[in-house]
Structure 1
């Protein structure tokens, strides 16, 4: 992971040497001081490369620090408009604007102009889409080896997949968080919680319910490989660290077995965890902490999911709603 980050930081950009060096310094800061995820780092590097390439055409030559610092809001809007014409969606444009603002702020802190032009530009509106949770019964079934009975896969692999998916639904983990668990930290025996590392390297303690702990114990008992304490808890067929892609393929097989839509992804299990907790009367702040959300506003999306579910049930079940009667 460190090697991938270093490769991203050291790449070239279509700008004059001083500006290119500032971009690399900012990416390095994100990678090694703020511990940005490799994919985030790659996306930001791509955003800066696209912007500096745009400036080559927009200004007639590669930009240096002074030219970048002298940009006006109209220049930033011109870039966003060009990206929009090329078919880029609003959500991606928002991320690109966030990357440009972050870099402009970095330059300002280094004494090169200010970031006002980038913050003066209003980002494009994005449609707020709600996650699509899986029903409680189906969500539980994804974490059961019985659901894939008859599969040609080895029993220990089925047990492993059930344990991983159980952590996504039963503890609300992201795939990366579940796969980042070390064998020595597994929630088995008397250990009823686990310390996970989420986005930005932030750690949080998450309780693990008995059925999930039992699934993990079952997987460990069947796993044919020695699981050393300082190595990953979940391993692949050849004994190496398990990849997220394998978990996604297991979920695809389960979608077929349960008749679930394509939206029933591993990440949907995490959404289901939050939605079902909220529907059961869970406290929003507590759910925020369990999910590892930095902001309560991120967690509040589940209040809209729950309200939407209630209205769907009302419209489906209420006699007057079924007959289309009004007030």
Structure 2
């Protein structure tokens, strides 16, 4: 698909991605998604025009070009959420490119993203979350794997980690300290307290893990000693939810949702929970929790000095 890009455009895209990495600390997965989305848009223009788009063409984009691209994407089955993500990447690139080349990408920036219903997370009930932690190792074929899976899900629920963050821990992090410095999305760091239950679960895994955990190597290992694949954690969750009769929404990520929701239900401060989760926006944290409006109003009325 990169063959559909003019050399100058390909170089500009590479420069933008490099700047996103250096100045905005964009994660590798984010950069890959940006590259795919913008390259897809530029490839569409090349097909639409019959030739790769150079600087003059990009500076002269019109609203009809954008509408044609969006219609094409919907026609090939792209959902509203994915199209909105792609449009956001295209706007980001053109905002940067316009500044560099000295033009206003009005047609690109004025396009509205398609509306879509944002899926609300579905956390587990407290008793269900505890049952998952107790039983996740039940079907493991070896005791050390059972201890490993228990340790991972305990970190997800007890510390609110993303699965990538838990599996990103190294031998240097063991034994777990009272607090962990976690590098999350966009390279943003946050400090996460480690509950005794999480520390104990990891200690139990360390006591039976058959592999040498080098300081720079992964803390959680697969059956052959390599880094633990997140898909294996998902499979463990699939097995335990079948045993417990939990819905398909009971995934590893649901444990992070549960962490946030149960903290808020217990009277935790929304801003503090935002920091623990590593969210840039408070609205993201609010969407992450399954506490209804009545509960939020009760917290507000109890805490506000004029209530």
TM over 0.5: yes
Structure 1 counterpart of 2:11, from 21, 45, 49: 21
Listed one character per residue, the Cα deviations across residues 141-179 of structure 1 (whole Å, up to 9, x for unaligned) are: 2222x4543x35111111011001001011100011001
User: Counterpart in 1 of 2:160?
Assistant: 172
Q: Is the 8 A contact 1:255 1:264 kept in 2?
A: yes
User: Counterpart in 1 of 2:260?
Assistant: 274
Q: Is the 8 A contact 1:70 1:113 kept in 2?
A: no
Say whether 1:230 aligns with 2:216. Answer: yes
Residue 33 of structure 1: how far off its partner (Å): 4.8
Residue 271 of structure 1: how far off its partner (Å): 0.5
Residue 13 of structure 1: how far off its partner (Å): 4.4
Listed one character per residue, the Cα deviations across residues 18-64 of structure 1 (whole Å, up to 9, x for unaligned) are: 11221222223334554433332222222122212221233232210
- Cα distance in 2 for partners of 1:147, 1:178 equals 16
Structure 1 counterpart of 2:122, from 121, 124, 132: 132
- Cα distance in 2 for partners of 1:282, 1:46 equals 40
Q: Where does structure 2 lack aligned partners over 5 or more consecutive residues?
A: 296-307
- Cα distance in 1 for partners of 2:162, 2:294 equals 23
Of 37-46 and 204-213, deviating more is 37-46
Residue 225 of structure 1: how far off its partner (Å): 1.3
Residue 206 of structure 1: how far off its partner (Å): 0.2
User: Counterpart in 2 of 1:122?
Assistant: 112
- Cα distance in 1 for partners of 2:293, 2:127 equals 19
Of 246-255 and 50-59, deviating more is 50-59
User: Counterpart in 1 of 2:148?
Assistant: 160
Residue 235 of structure 1: how far off its partner (Å): 1.2
Say whether 1:59 aligns with 2:77. Answer: no
Of 120-129 and 12-21, deviating more is 12-21
Q: Is the 8 A contact 1:107 1:114 kept in 2?
A: no
User: Counterpart in 1 of 2:298?
Assistant: none
Say whether 1:295 aligns with 2:281. Answer: yes
- Cα distance in 2 for partners of 1:302, 1:15 equals 39
Q: Is the 8 A contact 1:279 1:306 kept in 2?
A: yes
Structure 1 counterpart of 2:291, from 285, 306, 311: 306
- Cα distance in 1 for partners of 2:51, 2:224 equals 52
Residue 234 of structure 1: how far off its partner (Å): 1.0
Residue 309 of structure 1: how far off its partner (Å): 9.6
Alignment of 1:84-123 (within 5 A): 84-123=74-113
Say whether 1:248 aligns with 2:238. Answer: no
For residue 205 of structure 1, give the secondary structure of its aligned residue in structure 2: strand
Say whether 1:284 aligns with 2:270. Answer: yes
The TM-score normalised by the length of structure 2 is: 0.90
The TM-score normalised by the length of structure 1 is: 0.85
Considering Cα pairs closer than 8 Å and 6+ residues apart, tell me whether 1 or 2 has the greater RCO. 2
Q: Is the 8 A contact 1:175 1:244 kept in 2?
A: yes
Q: Where does structure 1 lack aligned partners over 5 or more consecutive residues?
A: 1-10, 311-327
User: Counterpart in 2 of 1:203?
Assistant: 189
- Provide the aligned length of Structure 1 versus Structure 2: 295
Say whether 1:71 aligns with 2:56. Answer: no
Q: Is the 8 A contact 2:136 2:236 kept in 1?
A: no
Alignment of 1:12-51 (within 5 A): 12-51=2-41
- Cα distance in 1 for partners of 2:206, 2:11 equals 48
- Cα distance in 2 for partners of 1:147, 1:243 equals 16
